[in-house]
Amino acid sequence: MSEDLQHGQRKELSAGLIQYSVESAMPFGPIHPSLKEPEYFKLILEGERIVQVIPRIGYVHRGIERAAQERTWVKNIYLFERICGICSFAHSLGYTHAVEALTPFEVPKRAKYIRVIVAELERIHSHLLWLGLLGHWAGFDTLFMWIWKDREHILDLEEAITGNRVHKSYSTFGGVRMDLPDGIAAKLKTEMKYIEKRVDYYENLVGAEETLTVRTKGVGRISQETARRLSPVGPLLRCTGIARDVRVEDPYAAYDEIAPRVQTSNDGDIASLLTLRLNEIRESCWMVSEAAERLPTGPYKVSIPRAVPRGESMFHVEAPRGELFYFVKSGGGSAPERVKIRTSTMANLLTATEMLKGCTLADVPVVLTGMDPCFGCMDRISVLDVGQSKEWSVRGEELRTYGIEYYRKRLS
Amino acid sequence: MSSEDLAKLAASLGGSLATRPKSVELTITPDKVLDACKSIASIPGLYHLTTITGLDLGEEIGLLYQFWQGRGFVVVRTAVPKANPKIQSISGTLASATLYEAEIQDLLGVSFDGNPYLGKKLLLPDNYPAEAPPPLRKEADPEKIRKMMELE
Amino acid sequence: MNPLQVVQLLLFPGLTFFVWLAFVFEWLERKTSARMQGRLGPVVTGPFGILQPVADFFKLASKEEIIPAQSDKFVLRWGPALYFAAPAIGIAFLPILGFQSILFDPLDLLFMLFILAFSTLMAAMLGYASAGRYSTIAVGRLVVQYTSYEVPLILSMVTPAVLARSLSIQGIAAAQGSMWYIVIVPVAFAVFIIASLAELEKPPFDIPSAKTEIVGGWMTEFSGNTLAYVKLTKSLSYVFLSALAVSLFLGGPGGPVISADQNLQALFYTVYFMVKLFAVGFLIFVIRTALARVRIDQATRLFWTFITPLSLAQLAVAIFVGFR
Amino acid sequence: MKEVSRRRVGKALGEMFRTALEKPVTEEYPFGDKVVTERFRGRLDIDPVKCTGCSICEIVCPAEVITMVPVGKKLIGTREVEIKRPSFELFTCISCGQCVDDCKFGALTLTHTFELAVFKKESTLMKKGLNIGK
């Protein structure tokens, strides 16, 4: 985008994107140790200060929306949950709800509670993962190790309930595939108490440890006005003080009975994101133990015929990173006619580039992680550039091999 | 946004209004889209452009501007002919639309005048053959495109 | 130089002993920082994984060396040897076996300052020579960080010299018989530790080699032999600086004299020295595990506005105490 | 180190020493035993006796791992009917368990084995289901 920029020429563009060219444009990515997934930001620097950031995405693009049109409704569940390694249950939840909205069936109450439990467990594990990574990028590896040690408790719980730590394949049309194992409610409560105790410790550690607060206070600040203009979603929006949460505004599953108290903090920098996510973990811990407490009895699944009636439906869920939107158009056949997925990172990307402006190079990883990007989420439509693009991503590794294997077999 | 204002807006722009269980749909012609989105965005309550969905409807490319209004969805539906898929970009007033439009530009070939990414690629790889149809269109056949890009 | 001195220089309290100590320190650092983070640390190679650093060194040395095209070949081939030589020569001036170090010179403290400056200079040269985009930025940061910690480092090294009224390390170590200088000038010791953290590029001052922003820092383009020797030198200077701290502030090999006979007492002196050395080493990597990395501008502000005046004040106190 | 420079530096010290004394969390796999929960979804396995060759699993599998292979003929009344049994290309299997859920005859199960590395790619082709008890 900036190839044809002349030196020092400054052009005002819409949406506050100013094209500005200076002698040193520093490529940051697409493969860089601080990025777990290949995204490419061209940073236009003056010395170490960043003046303009131009994102270029699409490196882990697997053409999922095109692929979805060639699969049956049930097979798509396993395809969509592999869009993102961390918010995989949010994707399968969004998709199953969108399709259930087209059918006249009502999901049993017990299934709704179980879905809330697993969704909140995933939010805790995603926020803990993010918190550890932030410590790592700020050079504080001890915090990273500790937090990921505690995160193991949540992953073990998820494995006990759904059979898999990350790709849960647990939600299906009409409810969940397996009932909760017996005796899980007690285990859930004890683990949640343990996590709450740890979160209290991290809060005063992270809030006070000078070498960390110095890296996060006032760094990557976004004002409420920019947030309104660029409309990010999830924690990135709530950290500027605007209280919006899909679970409260448009309750799905059992969120109408177990409603979360929406957390906000108000100075929009990485430090406020930190405290916001810590409070959200506490909130999720409360919700999981509450749901385990008030778990109703009854069936955990109702069977729904394979073919989905004709029609269009829109559904959005609160993924760990914000509002995740699913649009499903069914022509009455055995496969969807069109599925549009707008992930939270797609909505947050513009705000992230805004946060980066004015920071120094050393802040880039901290700010980038502050946005908690999940580029696997965002890149899911395009043509078959699987062979050509040099994806290198730890988290997406399994998705990558799955993608390549699928395309090689599918097209050979 | 109460349904009367929407009805008034639909009438003023010569579009039709359809209410659905959780959303209100306003179908209008492409040239009125900018005004419709501007008036929806100017509502005091917090508007939020969730996304813009592109649909391949055979001869036309359908565009759904989906807004979330804190209680329900408000959808502005329009369609541009496949022959010359051109429409006015709304990223001037709604900055968040920039990336959504750029995505549809890449994948369905609709060009949004005034979008910073017009002519530039957001998602497609650099060596995507220019003569091949945009990937999400029905006539784009993955097999053919693969050969054109000489993959493996 | 009689043959005994040559043997001492190359074998026991000299080069081989310190290189072995460098490997042990690296292992100790990895093992305890792992334990403090709830991890296991190296386990497989040798008992408790003690041979892991050695294994790493030989693995790296056997790897193919890629020399970047536009890099300065001459500096990249000979640079690591010089970079390794700096701490290697320094350790010869430290009294270990007794209060008599292998090489002696009445002004060897000044030579130590030269060695510290020389090793940073070599690091900068190697970084520039490898001509990588990330390493040039890293070298810029390295030099900025060096200018900020050099003054407090020198001041904190001069304070014990003022107290002992001698500029030779051996003399300073000997003068601490009655009271270690860490008790008289504790702030100087603290400043020396912080400055050596910055010299060794250990967190919180590992900005030049910050792996998260600028890949490998000034070491990004190294591979194979060069990287093996550069890593070894970093652990060696870690041992060298801890040994320097022991000699200047903890009375070197000083300790209760037990036996009259010469060699046995030399053995005791070495044991005292080793105990203090491991104590200082342990202290440094406890700090390294406990702190996050600060930004370069914050580091310089910390050094100039806080640590330098502190070490100046400490020097004034030392002069006053010294001449009373 | 004396609390020299900053008042709240080194907040993590207490916790560090406490963790140092606790047992590290690293599981010593492959030396120690690897604890896997009861519902862990490992490699797919088939019980040839129960399988009736109804090919539901082939239709349902999201990764298209299963292909039905003709194994012989059977006489039903006068018509000769071909019998088919599933063969599994486990290299691309994602262990989702959809086939296990949809198999009415309970022939398919997900075991707890997760060591799936092989030397030859062909060895991931599971033909166990083909030898129907004659």
Largest CA distance in chain D: 97
Whether the CB of A360 is below 8 Å from some CB of chain C: the reply is yes
The residues near C37 (Cβ < 8 Å, ≥ 6 apart) are A141, A142, A145, A146, A149, C289, D16, D19
Contact of chains B and C by CB distance (3 or more pairs under 8 angstroms): no
Considering CB atoms only, which of D11, D19, D96 is closest to A78? D96
Give me the pLDDT at residue A193, please: 94
Whether the CB of A250 is below 8 Å from some CB of chain C: the reply is no
Environment class of residue C47 by beta-carbon count within 10 Å: exposed (0-12), middle (13-18) or buried (19+)?
Answer: exposed
The count of CB pairs under 8 A between chains A and D is 78
Tens of each residue's pLDDT in chain A, 412 residues:
333 333 333 443 333 333 333 334 455 555 555 455 555 566 666 666 676 676 666 666 677 888 888 888 888 999 888 888 888 899 999 999 999 988 888 899 999 999 999 999 999 999 998 888 888 777 778 888 888 889 989 999 999 999 888 888 898 898 898 899 988 999 999 999 999 999 998 888 877 777 777 777 777 788 888 888 888 888 888 888 888 888 888 888 889 888 888 888 878 888 888 888 999 999 999 999 999 999 999 898 888 887 788 888 999 999 998 889 999 999 888 888 888 888 888 888 888 778 877 777 667 777 777 777 665 554 432 222 222 222 222 223 333 344 344 444 444 4
Q: Which residues of chain B fall below pLDDT 70?
A: 1-3, 44-46, 151-152
In angstroms, the Cα distances linking B62 to B28, B59, C85, D77 are 11, 10, 72, 56
Nearest residue to C125 via CA among C141, C111, C136: C136
Nearest residue to A205 via CA among A284, A128, A135: A135
Give me the pLDDT at residue A289, please: 92
Mean pLDDT, rounded, of chain C: 84
Number of domains in chain B: 1
Which of C134, C143, C206, C295 should one mutate to test binding to chain A, selecting the residue with the greatest count of A CBs within 10 A? C295
- Paired with D110 in beta bridges are D44
- Cβ–Cβ of C213/A136 closer than 8 Å? no
pLDDT tens column, D7-35: 467 677 888 888 888 888 887 777 777 77
Residue range C219-225: mean pLDDT, rounded: 82
Decide if the complex's ipTM is over 0.85: no
With contacts defined as CB-CB under 8 Å, which chain C residues touch A361? 137, 213-214
Give me the pLDDT at residue C261, please: 78
Environment class of residue C93 by beta-carbon count within 10 Å: exposed (0-12), middle (13-18) or buried (19+)?
Answer: buried
Whether the CB of D92 is below 8 Å from some CB of chain A: the reply is yes
Considering CB atoms only, which of D10, D16, D28 is closest to C36? D16
> With the C-alpha atoms ordered A393, A396, A398, A399, is the resulting torsion angle positive or negative?
negative
Tokens matching residue A304: 């729904």
With contacts defined as CB-CB under 8 Å, which chain C residues touch A138? 292-293
Task: For B70, name the nearest residue in chain A, comparing CA atoms only.
Answer: A249
Give me the pLDDT at residue A96, please: 92
- Cβ–Cβ of D16/C283 closer than 8 Å? no
Whether the CB of A34 is below 8 Å from some CB of chain C: the reply is yes
Is B16 within the bounds of a domain? yes
Is B142 within the bounds of a domain? no
Ordered domains of chain A (ranges, CATH):
36-59+352-411 (no CATH), 64-342 (1.10.645.10)
Chains touching C, CB cut-off 8 Å, 3+ pairs = A, D
pLDDT tens column, C185-200: 889 999 999 899 888 8
- Cβ–Cβ of B51/A228 closer than 8 Å? no
Whether the CB of C110 is below 8 Å from some CB of chain D: the reply is no
Give me the pLDDT at residue B44, please: 65
CATH number at residue B15: 3.30.460.80
B25: domain range? 3-120
Whether the CB of C32 is below 8 Å from some CB of chain D: the reply is yes
Closest-CA distance of chain A to residue C55, Å: 24
Considering CB atoms only, which of A77, A78, A205 is closest to D12? A205
Which of A385, A389, A408 should one mutate to test binding to chain B, selecting the residue with the greatest count of B CBs within 10 A? A385
Whether the CB of D30 is below 8 Å from some CB of chain C: the reply is no
Whether the CB of D24 is below 8 Å from some CB of chain C: the reply is yes
Closest-CA distance of chain C to residue D9, Å: 7
Give me the pLDDT at residue A406, please: 42
CA atoms of A290 and A287, how far apart (whole Å)? 5
Closest-CA distance of chain A to residue D133, Å: 32
Considering CB atoms only, which of A14, A325, A350 is closest to B51? A325
Considering CB atoms only, which of B46, B116, B128 is closest to A15? B116
- Paired with B87 in beta bridges are B112
pLDDT tens column, C148-160: 889 999 999 998 8
Give me the pLDDT at residue A119, please: 93
Tens of each residue's pLDDT in chain D, 134 residues:
333 334 467 677 888 888 888 888 887 777 777 778 888 888 999 988 888 888 899 998 998 899 998 888 888 888 888 888 899 998 889 888 899 988 999 999 999 888 888 888 888 888 888 877 64
Contact of chains A and C by CB distance (3 or more pairs under 8 angstroms): yes
Whether the CB of C37 is below 8 Å from some CB of chain D: the reply is yes
Give me the pLDDT at residue A14, please: 34
With contacts defined as CB-CB under 8 Å, which chain A residues touch C290? 142
CATH of D36-130, one of 3.40.640.10, 2.40.50.140, 3.40.50.300, 3.30.70.3270: 3.30.70.3270
With contacts defined as CB-CB under 8 Å, which chain D residues touch A75? 60-62, 98
Environment class of residue A37 by beta-carbon count within 10 Å: exposed (0-12), middle (13-18) or buried (19+)?
Answer: buried
Closest-CA distance of chain C to residue D24, Å: 5
Give me the pLDDT at residue A379, please: 40
Considering CB atoms only, which of B98, B120, B125 is closest to A388? B125
Closest-CA distance of chain D to residue C37, Å: 7
- Cβ–Cβ of C215/A33 closer than 8 Å? yes
- Cβ–Cβ of C213/A365 closer than 8 Å? yes
Is B19 within the bounds of a domain? yes
CA atoms of C266 and A37, how far apart (whole Å)? 58
Q: Is there a contact between A376 and A395 (Cβ–Cβ < 8 Å)?
A: yes
Residue range C48-71: mean pLDDT, rounded: 87
- Cβ–Cβ of D25/A152 closer than 8 Å? yes
Contact of chains A and D by CB distance (3 or more pairs under 8 angstroms): yes
Q: According to the 3-state scheme, what is the secondary structure of C258-291?
A: CCCCHHHHHHHHHHHHHHHHHHHHHHHHHHHHHC
- Cβ–Cβ of A146/C133 closer than 8 Å? no
Considering CB atoms only, which of A26, A140, A362 is closest to C210? A362
CB atoms within 10 A of CB A409: 14
Contact of chains D and B by CB distance (3 or more pairs under 8 angstroms): no
Whether the CB of D2 is below 8 Å from some CB of chain C: the reply is yes
Which of C31, C182, C286 should one mutate to test binding to chain D, selecting the residue with the greatest count of D CBs within 10 A? C286
Q: What is the DSSP string of C199-217?
A: HTT-TTS--TT-TTTSTTG
The structural domains of chain D, with segments of one domain joined by +, span 36-130
CA atoms of C192 and C287, how far apart (whole Å)? 14
Is B125 within the bounds of a domain? no
With contacts defined as CB-CB under 8 Å, which chain A residues touch B49? 231
Task: For A316, name the nearest residue in chain B, comparing CA atoms only.
Answer: B50
- Cβ–Cβ of B135/A63 closer than 8 Å? yes
> With the C-alpha atoms ordered C313, C314, C318, C324, is the resulting torsion angle positive or negative?
positive
Considering CB atoms only, which of D39, D60, D92 is closest to A409? D92
With contacts defined as CB-CB under 8 Å, which chain C residues touch A33? 211-212, 215
- Cβ–Cβ of D1/C190 closer than 8 Å? yes
Which of D98, D104, D111, D114 should one mutate to test binding to chain A, selecting the residue with the greatest count of A CBs within 10 A? D98
CA atoms of D113 and A412, how far apart (whole Å)? 30
- Cβ–Cβ of D19/C32 closer than 8 Å? no
Give me the pLDDT at residue A284, please: 93
